[in-house]
A and B are shown apart, each in its own frame.
Chain A
């Protein structure tokens, strides 16, 4: 029997919806940590006890609510972030993933990532996460130097991290880890040696972040009082970045985004949803989402405080914000996100969002400075442009 005309219309509309260029992902935020790290400005809280059953129920309820807004979609990825999601009981993860499977069709290559602290306690739960459906872990190793781990306020040491990493490798096919560099008193040589060690450990994916001092963190307060000494000045930080590119390229793990490296084909599917400006649902305290409903793209934001969030969920919805985005908002966000990755922006796509996007004069001047390229309907930043990305984006915003 042929489909009714109405259905054809909806299908046609869905095919042209912009988010399809980037896919659809689900972010689940677990807001609890055992200790707060001095550099972290994420929504994380240290509490004595978490009622896992109540939280599992709340997360499931939110997944189901969001699913009702996005019926019939294929889900490309799930990401458990935090906080410290490796403090979740495997049963909690399983409950959420069961709800996910009931709610959407999973893509054949669905990526289900969980962020984990590299400690033995957590490693003991890896098998349980895998059984629940997690197929990738991202480990917050942060440094391969004990002194620096202490300064970064981490609870693990290098030996424990390596053991946990080995466990992860034995359980999951895909394992990534994070390092923080451009740390206090770190020299270019120090970083060269440490990064070589990291590359010898790496499986197929690495996130290498320069230490950023965020306002409102312990480091931010100390920096403001002039008490955070030994941070590299911009020239050294830029040299460290260049060195990182050189070593990672040689090791077959080139950057595919500002701070993310992977063997070709092993890029994080989830993060690409953000950078390709797809749709993503955000579930859990403080989680943000971008959801296209009836052809309109909305920004969503959940209540930040865990207590407030869970009460709101139990009354129907954890969202504190659900706001339509104008074409200009979207083109601005896509510019900011899309220029982070190698393939850059789809020019036709961004002009559909806003005719004012990518002003030609600014593009031309950035091209002349060797910071931007335009080719075959795409625009992206050069390697030098990537290091100046904020300035480049500021030029391109209308």
Chain B
């Protein structure tokens, strides 16, 4: 067990490509945590998608032993956290498990939007923050300007920032010293009190079962202990305790302030909830840690295999993904047009895209994604109430008394240059302003917004209108009645259920117009003309006609062309297989999502 005074727990906050992974690698390497032989790039990122999108979906942790200039040896625990608003809750839990953060900023680029949301989460968690300016070896580095920007935009003192090049290793010792000298040790922690530990994250390992990352507050975690999850009530016997260096290394016990992992024959990630409190089954602690929220999916959509024959493979893939992702839900669904598939729930749109990408890439299944939807509460005239997850299940409007939709409180931080555009965006999305205050040169805008206006492309639009400088966070605040209707899309006079959406009646014409115009561009021309309509009930509110293709013929085709041109035609035919047929019309897979994106 390590004395609290010799423990430093921290996270790294950085924008993509600003050097978080490289810095982590250098810290690991320069303390000889791994041997040179074991060293490989980007030790902490585990999934392709994490690396590609520059996002972390699962928390990772590594324990570093560091002999400081004062001659003492310290234990440094780094937690690498997810960085997207969809995972805001997970980030806030990870941040609560550590006492300080390194804020890494690329000295050639300056502060970027993604950094802001996370640095504020760190500030909320009362972190001590050490600014680290990376890439100072590059000619384009502007150290003084970036320091000023950190002070202006974030509002923390940047005068004694660490100046480093994670690539060349320059300045790494100063970072290690700053961690020891400037970040605080864990504030409290008594090994003699009942066990109290935070469940930081968990992941599924095919050999070990569920591996749980924990931060011990009080008491001591030991092998063989019978533990209890205070929220879920599950009890387990610990069979392994260890730390990541970054490979798993077993230890005897974990004491107050320490971070590590346990395994306890837990079968599913679902049984472990991020933010839950772990204690002993007998003589456990009285009160759980504050701030626990069960993760509830808020966005739903249908996922269908493009090729119906892939359904069984898709079912297997979804089961495997569920093992490692407690926040993702799925149930089987049948659609007249799309056949068998799944209705899935997600924490947000990025989460949706990540899951879809993993299904497509890791399991090689082409998917059609239907219009994302939130959960509506439908109050029927007979006094009953139903939850609507899928617009296709909407009951007959004559039986409906009223409909309520979920709303959120959105907090947006934006440099005042972009404030006007951000306000306009919020107004356009049926928002009601709750508050507007200034923090230095930045405005803090608080809006009450319908969740369905946000789930789709709000975050993308926000980034675009603010040139990437706005940061965004939200929480659910409840349900409210509004004038909502189901809008159907008809392609060649046939309704395409997968494109049905719930919209506010006042915005239906605009949304309908935008969708049919988009679809006109997304659906390739056919040999016949295709009407594309948006309708509410039987009433058409927007209409476009996709003209028939007029010319598609090979001018020259002689003996020598038989093989080559036939291959081209076969390719054309194969291209059609990546589309879904609705009546006589082939609709490309990407149309289902793209049609919903609003450009302005």
User: Does A116 make an interface contact (CB < 8 A)?
Assistant: no
CB-CB contacts of A364-398 with B at 8 A, as 1s and 0s?
01100101000000000000001111111110010
Q: How far is the CA of A2 from the CA of B456 in the complex (A)?
A: 85
Checking A25, A289, A336 against B566 with a beta-carbon cut-off of 8 angstroms, the contacting residue is A336
Report yes or no: A287 in contact with B560, Cβ–Cβ below 8 A: yes
Closest 3 CB pairs of A and B: A238-B550, A389-B553, A288-B560
User: Does B437 make an interface contact (CB < 8 A)?
Assistant: no
Report yes or no: B555 in contact with A392, Cβ–Cβ below 8 A: no
With A288-B563, A290-B562 as known contacts, state yes or no: A388 contacts B549, CB within 8 Å.
yes
User: Does B140 make an interface contact (CB < 8 A)?
Assistant: no
Checking B527, B560, B584 against A282 with a beta-carbon cut-off of 8 angstroms, the contacting residue is B560
Q: How far is the CA of A366 from the CA of B527 in the complex (A)?
A: 9
Interface set, chain B 556-596, CB cutoff 8 A to A: 556-563, 565-566, 569-570, 572-573, 576, 584
Other A-B pairs beyond A337-B557, A389-B552, A390-B553, 19, CB < 8 Å: A27-B560, A209-B555, A210-B555, A212-B555, A234-B551, A235-B550, A289-B559, A332-B566, A336-B562, A336-B569, A365-B584, A369-B527, A369-B528, A387-B551, A387-B553, A390-B569, A390-B572, A393-B569, A394-B573
Tell me which residues across on chain A come within 8 A of B551, comparing CB atoms: 234, 237-238, 241, 387-388
CB-CB contacts of B227-258 with A at 8 A, as 1s and 0s?
00000000000000000000000000000000
User: Does A340 make an interface contact (CB < 8 A)?
Assistant: yes
Q: How far is the CA of A392 from the CA of B558 in the complex (A)?
A: 18
Q: How far is the CB of B120 from chain A (nearest CB, A)?
A: 44
Tell me which residues across on chain B come within 8 A of A393, comparing CB atoms: 569
User: Does A280 make an interface contact (CB < 8 A)?
Assistant: yes
User: Does B384 make an interface contact (CB < 8 A)?
Assistant: no
Q: How far is the CB of B477 from chain A (nearest CB, A)?
A: 50
Tell me which residues across on chain B come within 8 A of A388, comparing CB atoms: 527, 549-553
Q: How far is the CB of B230 from chain A (nearest CB, A)?
A: 62
Checking B527, B553, B562, B569 against A288 with a beta-carbon cut-off of 8 angstroms, the contacting residue is B562
User: Does B554 make an interface contact (CB < 8 A)?
Assistant: yes
Q: How many residues of A contact B (CB 8 A)?
A: 44
Tell me which residues across on chain B come within 8 A of A64, comparing CB atoms: none
Interface set, chain B 502-533, CB cutoff 8 A to A: 526-528
Q: How far is the CB of B571 from chain A (nearest CB, A)?
A: 10
User: Does A17 make an interface contact (CB < 8 A)?
Assistant: no
Q: How far is the CB of A326 from chain B (nearest CB, A)?
A: 13
Tell me which residues across on chain B come within 8 A of A371, comparing CB atoms: 527
Q: How far is the CB of B251 from chain A (nearest CB, A)?
A: 60
Q: How far is the CA of A394 from the CA of B565 in the complex (A)?
A: 11
Report yes or no: B559 in contact with A282, Cβ–Cβ below 8 A: yes
Tell me which residues across on chain A come within 8 A of B570, comparing CB atoms: 332, 397
Tell me which residues across on chain B come within 8 A of A286, comparing CB atoms: 560
Q: How far is the CA of A241 from the CA of B553 in the complex (A)?
A: 11
Chain B residues with a Cβ under 8 A of chain A? 526-528, 549-563, 565-566, 569-570, 572-573, 576, 584
User: Does A346 make an interface contact (CB < 8 A)?
Assistant: no
Report yes or no: B555 in contact with A259, Cβ–Cβ below 8 A: yes
Tell me which residues across on chain B come within 8 A of A25, comparing CB atoms: 559
Tell me which residues across on chain B come within 8 A of A30, comparing CB atoms: none
Q: How far is the CA of A258 from the CA of B552 in the complex (A)?
A: 12
Tell me which residues across on chain B come within 8 A of A274, comparing CB atoms: 557-559, 562
23 contacts between A and B (CB under 8 A): A238-B550, A258-B554, A259-B555, A259-B556, A282-B559, A288-B559, A288-B563, A301-B563, A332-B566, A337-B562, A340-B557, A369-B528, A387-B551, A388-B527, A388-B551, A389-B553, A390-B552, A391-B527, A391-B572, A393-B569, A394-B569, A394-B573, A397-B570
Q: How far is the CA of A358 from the CA of B556 in the complex (A)?
A: 23
Q: How far is the CA of A200 from the CA of B552 in the complex (A)?
A: 29
Closest to A43 in B: B560
Closest to B568 in A: A390
Looking at A273, A287, A389, A390, which has the most chain B CB atoms within 10 Å of its CB? A390
Q: How far is the CB of A262 from chain B (nearest CB, A)?
A: 16
Report yes or no: B556 in contact with A209, Cβ–Cβ below 8 A: yes
Tell me which residues across on chain B come within 8 A of A186, comparing CB atoms: none
Tell me which residues across on chain B come within 8 A of A387, comparing CB atoms: 550-553
Looking at B527, B549, B561, B573, which has the most chain A CB atoms within 10 Å of its CB? B527
Q: How far is the CB of A363 from chain B (nearest CB, A)?
A: 14
Q: How far is the CB of B565 from chain A (nearest CB, A)?
A: 7
Q: How far is the CB of B122 from chain A (nearest CB, A)?
A: 47
User: Does A74 make an interface contact (CB < 8 A)?
Assistant: no
Tell me which residues across on chain A come within 8 A of B573, comparing CB atoms: 394, 397
Interface set, chain A 233-257, CB cutoff 8 A to B: 234-235, 237-238, 241
Q: How far is the CA of A337 from the CA of B563 in the complex (A)?
A: 11
Tell me which residues across on chain A come within 8 A of B527, comparing CB atoms: 366, 369, 371, 388, 391-392
User: Does A135 make an interface contact (CB < 8 A)?
Assistant: no
Tell me which residues across on chain A come within 8 A of B565, comparing CB atoms: 336
